[in-house]
Protein backbone atom coordinates (compact mmCIF):
# COMPACT_ATOMS: atom_id res chain seq x y z
CA UNK A 1 0.00 0.00 0.00
CA UNK A 2 1.16 3.52 -0.77
CA UNK A 3 0.79 6.76 1.17
CA UNK A 4 -2.06 8.06 -1.00
CA UNK A 5 -3.99 4.80 -0.47
CA UNK A 6 -3.51 5.05 3.27
CA UNK A 7 -4.79 8.62 3.23
CA UNK A 8 -7.78 7.69 1.06
CA UNK A 9 -8.70 4.67 3.17
CA UNK A 10 -8.70 6.80 6.30
CA UNK A 11 -10.64 9.59 4.58
CA UNK A 12 -13.26 7.12 3.27
CA UNK A 13 -13.47 4.94 6.38
CA UNK A 14 -17.24 5.52 6.72
CA UNK A 15 -17.95 4.49 3.11
CA UNK A 16 -18.43 1.00 1.71
CA UNK A 17 -15.18 0.19 -0.12
CA UNK A 18 -13.67 -2.54 -2.23
CA UNK A 19 -9.88 -2.60 -2.59
CA UNK A 20 -8.01 -4.22 -5.48
CA UNK A 21 -4.28 -4.73 -5.98
CA UNK A 22 -2.00 -6.95 -8.05
CA UNK A 23 -2.58 -9.96 -5.80
CA UNK A 24 -5.92 -10.39 -7.53
CA UNK A 25 -5.49 -12.08 -10.91
CA UNK A 26 -7.63 -9.59 -12.86
CA UNK A 27 -5.47 -6.71 -11.55
CA UNK A 28 -2.05 -8.31 -12.01
CA UNK A 29 -1.00 -5.41 -14.28
CA UNK A 30 -0.92 -3.04 -11.30
CA UNK A 31 2.49 -2.26 -9.82
CA UNK A 32 3.26 -3.49 -6.31
CA UNK A 33 2.50 -0.08 -4.79
CA UNK A 34 -0.72 0.54 -6.75
CA UNK A 35 -4.29 -0.01 -5.61
CA UNK A 36 -7.76 0.63 -6.91
CA UNK A 37 -10.17 1.82 -4.26
CA UNK A 38 -13.82 1.52 -5.23
CA UNK A 39 -16.37 3.54 -3.29
CA UNK A 40 -19.62 1.60 -3.64
CA UNK A 41 -22.56 3.75 -4.65
CA UNK A 42 -25.66 2.61 -2.76
CA UNK A 43 -27.84 5.30 -4.39
CA UNK A 44 -27.03 5.49 -8.09
CA UNK A 45 -25.57 3.63 -11.02
CA UNK A 46 -21.89 4.48 -10.92
CA UNK A 47 -19.24 3.73 -8.31
CA UNK A 48 -16.34 6.07 -7.64
CA UNK A 49 -12.87 4.73 -8.52
CA UNK A 50 -9.53 5.93 -7.18
CA UNK A 51 -6.38 4.37 -8.59
CA UNK A 52 -3.44 5.19 -6.38
CA UNK A 53 0.31 4.82 -6.69
CA UNK A 54 3.31 6.17 -4.84
CA UNK A 55 3.48 9.29 -7.01
CA UNK A 56 -0.09 9.96 -8.15
CA UNK A 57 -3.78 9.09 -8.10
CA UNK A 58 -6.57 9.07 -10.68
CA UNK A 59 -10.17 9.76 -9.72
CA UNK A 60 -12.85 8.34 -12.02
CA UNK A 61 -16.60 8.83 -11.86
CA UNK A 62 -18.58 7.86 -14.95
CA UNK A 63 -16.63 9.18 -17.92
CA UNK A 64 -14.87 11.83 -15.82
CA UNK A 65 -11.16 11.36 -15.00
CA UNK A 66 -8.78 13.62 -13.10
CA UNK A 67 -5.18 13.16 -12.02
CA UNK A 68 -3.55 14.23 -8.77
CA UNK A 69 0.09 14.09 -7.70
CA UNK A 70 1.25 13.16 -4.19
CA UNK A 71 1.66 16.76 -2.99
CA UNK A 72 -0.36 17.82 0.02
CA UNK A 73 -2.20 20.37 -2.15
CA UNK A 74 -3.28 17.77 -4.70
CA UNK A 75 -4.30 15.25 -2.03
CA UNK A 76 -6.44 17.97 -0.43
CA UNK A 77 -7.95 18.69 -3.87
CA UNK A 78 -8.63 14.96 -4.38
CA UNK A 79 -10.39 14.73 -1.03
CA UNK A 80 -12.42 17.85 -1.81
CA UNK A 81 -13.45 16.49 -5.22
CA UNK A 82 -14.50 13.18 -3.64
CA UNK A 83 -16.51 15.03 -0.97
CA UNK A 84 -18.23 17.17 -3.60
CA UNK A 85 -19.26 14.06 -5.55
CA UNK A 86 -20.42 12.08 -2.51
CA UNK A 87 -22.44 15.06 -1.24
CA UNK A 88 -24.04 15.73 -4.66
CA UNK A 89 -22.36 19.13 -4.80
CA UNK A 90 -20.78 18.25 -8.14
CA UNK A 91 -21.66 16.01 -11.05
CA UNK A 92 -20.51 14.77 -14.44
CA UNK A 93 -22.12 16.27 -17.51
CA UNK A 94 -21.74 14.37 -20.79
CA UNK A 95 -22.78 15.83 -24.13
CA UNK A 96 -23.02 13.37 -26.99
CA UNK A 97 -22.92 14.81 -30.49
CA UNK A 98 -22.14 11.73 -32.59
CA UNK A 99 -19.47 10.80 -33.34
CA UNK A 100 -17.87 12.96 -30.65
CA UNK A 101 -18.67 13.65 -27.03
CA UNK A 102 -17.64 16.13 -24.38
CA UNK A 103 -17.36 15.35 -20.67
CA UNK A 104 -17.51 18.06 -18.04
CA UNK A 105 -17.18 18.17 -14.29
CA UNK A 106 -19.58 20.72 -12.81
CA UNK A 107 -18.96 22.30 -9.44
CA UNK A 108 -19.84 25.68 -8.01
CA UNK A 109 -21.49 26.91 -11.24
CA UNK A 110 -18.34 26.19 -13.27
CA UNK A 111 -17.59 23.51 -15.85
CA UNK A 112 -14.20 21.87 -16.24
CA UNK A 113 -14.00 19.91 -19.48
CA UNK A 114 -12.08 16.65 -19.83
CA UNK A 115 -9.26 17.64 -22.21
CA UNK A 116 -9.22 14.39 -24.24
CA UNK A 117 -12.92 14.88 -25.10
CA UNK A 118 -12.75 18.64 -25.68
CA UNK A 119 -11.59 18.29 -29.29
CA UNK A 120 -12.81 21.77 -30.24
CA UNK A 121 -11.20 23.34 -27.16
CA UNK A 122 -14.55 24.75 -26.03
CA UNK A 123 -14.51 27.07 -23.08
CA UNK A 124 -17.38 27.79 -20.73
CA UNK A 125 -17.44 31.36 -22.04
CA UNK A 126 -18.11 30.01 -25.54
CA UNK A 127 -20.99 27.84 -24.42
CA UNK A 128 -23.77 29.64 -26.35
CA UNK A 129 -22.11 28.89 -29.68
CA UNK A 130 -21.44 25.32 -28.61
CA UNK A 131 -24.99 24.80 -27.31
CA UNK A 132 -26.44 26.15 -30.56
CA UNK A 133 -24.38 23.65 -32.56
CA UNK A 134 -25.43 20.77 -30.27
CA UNK A 135 -29.10 21.78 -30.52
CA UNK A 136 -28.98 22.00 -34.31
CA UNK A 137 -27.42 18.56 -34.54
CA UNK A 138 -29.80 17.05 -31.97
CA UNK A 139 -27.13 16.28 -29.43
CA UNK A 140 -27.95 14.48 -26.22
CA UNK A 141 -26.91 15.16 -22.65
CA UNK A 142 -26.65 13.10 -19.50
CA UNK A 143 -26.03 14.17 -15.93
CA UNK A 144 -24.38 11.78 -13.49
CA UNK A 145 -24.93 12.43 -9.80
CA UNK A 146 -23.83 10.24 -6.91
CA UNK A 147 -27.43 10.18 -5.67
CA UNK A 148 -29.76 10.84 -8.62
CA UNK A 149 -32.71 11.49 -6.29
CA UNK A 150 -31.06 14.64 -4.98
CA UNK A 151 -29.69 16.15 -8.16
CA UNK A 152 -29.65 19.90 -8.57
CA UNK A 153 -28.76 21.09 -12.04
CA UNK A 154 -27.68 24.62 -12.69
CA UNK A 155 -30.27 25.35 -15.44
CA UNK A 156 -28.44 28.36 -16.86
CA UNK A 157 -25.62 26.05 -17.98
CA UNK A 158 -27.59 23.60 -20.10
CA UNK A 159 -29.86 23.04 -23.03
CA UNK A 160 -33.47 22.48 -22.11
Contact 76, 69 (CB under 8 A): no
| pLDDT at res. 159 | 47
DSSP symbols for 7-70: HHHHHTTTS-EEEE-TTSGGGTTS-TT-EEEEE--SSSS--EEEEE-SSEEEEEETTEEEEEES
CA dihedral 69, 85, 13, 19 (to 10 degrees): -70
Domain tally, the chain = 2
Domain that holds residue 102: 91-157
Q: What pTM does this model have?
A: 0.85
Whether residues 78 and 147 share a domain: the answer is no
Residue 39 predicted with pLDDT over 90: yes
Picking from 86, 107, 140, the residue at the C-terminal end of a domain is 86
Q: Per-residue confidence at 132, pLDDT binned at 50, 70, 90?
A: low
Picking from 38, 60, 86, the residue at the C-terminal end of a domain is 86
Amino acid sequence: MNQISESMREFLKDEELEIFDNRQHQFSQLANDEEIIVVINLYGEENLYIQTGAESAVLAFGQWRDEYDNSSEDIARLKADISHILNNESYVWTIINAPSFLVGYVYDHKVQYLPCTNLFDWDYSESKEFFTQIAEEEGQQSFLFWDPHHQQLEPSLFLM
